[in-house]
Structure 1
Amino acid sequence: MADSPPLPPKRRCSPAEIQAIVHVGVPIAAAWGVEVLEAAGGRAAVRLPFRPDLLRPGGTVSGPALMGLADVAMWAALLGVTGGKDESVTSTMTVNFLRPFAPGPVVAEARLLKRGKRMVFGEVLLRAESSEEVSAHVTTSWVVIAPA
């Protein structure tokens, strides 16, 4: 039996290309101005600029905005390893808020922990852009949806 030829490598997308895909696929990310800073090798970093409308009473960044940012960060990490083509969907997300986010930009750093044929597992660390301290830790799993 002859060896099958190796699969061609996936095309590597730039952060700007992945950001464009994210903005079309998740329109609220575009509305919020989410930026993809990097996405390659199963990792991604995304930035949520400061927006007064995303603050909750008490002046901290709202949980729904932070969870949305974490979800987008994980998708960016997936897009970075799939050549910009990924239709996987979030199955679970567990968020541990460790400290409040003061008003200001937020950075989410995602990494794939395991990428199987049917499931993907990852983690996202969120922090204020002005700090190295992690303010939220997210674990997430995604169901792989094969394109039709």
Structure 2
Amino acid sequence: MEPQMDTAALGAFLVAEFPQVAEDFGIEALTPDGIEVRLKVAHRHLRPGGTVSGPAMFALADVAVYLALLAQIGPVALAVTTNSSMDFLRKPAAGADLIGRARMLKVGRSLAVGDVLIFAEGGADPVARATLTYSIPPRR
């Protein structure tokens, strides 16, 4: 499927529609089968012990799959998460940004399913993986 939005359009969409979190994320690359998104890890993303919190990793997974979906279907702000499953595999390296590599597994008319592997920057092994399902509103 030919992309409907490029990295600049996706970044502008994130700033316009989600300004409260847009500065936490950076779009690293749009790939033929998905997207790479960076979580710019800051102190507010850490849990006791200095590792990135589960909610911060979930936010990265959710944003990465959302943007991968929008790259395929265009700017549909009201596409929403309807289901998610996340496995935390290992503790990320302290102080490293996280990179989410998302790909869409299926994009239908009303539902889309994507998965994402999350890596600590520079790490070879994923620190988490997630699968998310999105509901796509009817097109008018």
Tell me which structure has the larger Cα radius of gyration: 1
Structures share fold, TM-score greater than 0.5: yes
TM-score, normalising length: structure 1: 0.84
Q: Which residue of structure 2 aligns with residue 128 of structure 1?
A: 120
Q: State how many pairs are aligned.
A: 139
Deviations 1:2-49 (A, max 9, x none): xxxxxxx977432122011122222333242x1012235441110012
Query: Quick one: distance in 1 between partners of 2:3 and 2:106?
Result: 21
Q: Which residue of structure 2 aligns with residue 145 of structure 1?
A: 137
Aligned CA RMSD, in angstroms, stands at: 2.0
Q: Which residue of structure 1 aligns with residue 34 of structure 2?
A: 43
Query: Quick one: distance in 1 between partners of 2:3 and 2:86?
Result: 32
Listed as ranges, the gaps of 5+ residues in structure 1 are 1-8
Deviations 1:105-147 (A, max 9, x none): 0000111101111111110100101112111010111111124
TM-score, normalising length: structure 2: 0.88
Q: Which residue of structure 2 aligns with residue 101 of structure 1?
A: 92
Deviations 1:67-126 (A, max 9, x none): 011111011101111233453110011110000122210000111101111111110100
Higher strand share: 2
Query: Quick one: distance in 1 between partners of 2:27 and 2:102?
Result: 11
Q: Which residue of structure 2 aligns with residue 6 of structure 1?
A: none
